[in-house]
Amino acid sequence: MVNSIQGNALLGIQQATAKMQKNASDIARANNLNEPSQLDAARSLVELNQNKNAALASMKVIKVENDLLGALLDVKA
């Protein structure tokens, strides 16, 4: 079960990172003067922030899991 939780959290981090890279690329492309797309840049900025929060949430899951395992080991010892 622990591996499942950690695996899901790591997958969440990987997916959020990939999406953040796409958002950053979209934002960079939106700065192209030949291609006015302010709405796309705004959407990409919002999605970038959402993906950052998703990655942070997944990292928090891993930290909580590690803390709980440490507490369990302390109790058992």
Highest mean pLDDT among 1-5, 38-42, 71-75: 71-75
Query: What are the tokens at 54?
Result: 């998703």
Residue 70 phi/psi, 5-degree rounding, is -65, -40
Domain ranges of the chain: 2-76
Over residues 27-50, the pLDDT tens digits come to: 888 877 666 656 688 899 999 999
> How confident is the model at residue 10, as a pLDDT?
96
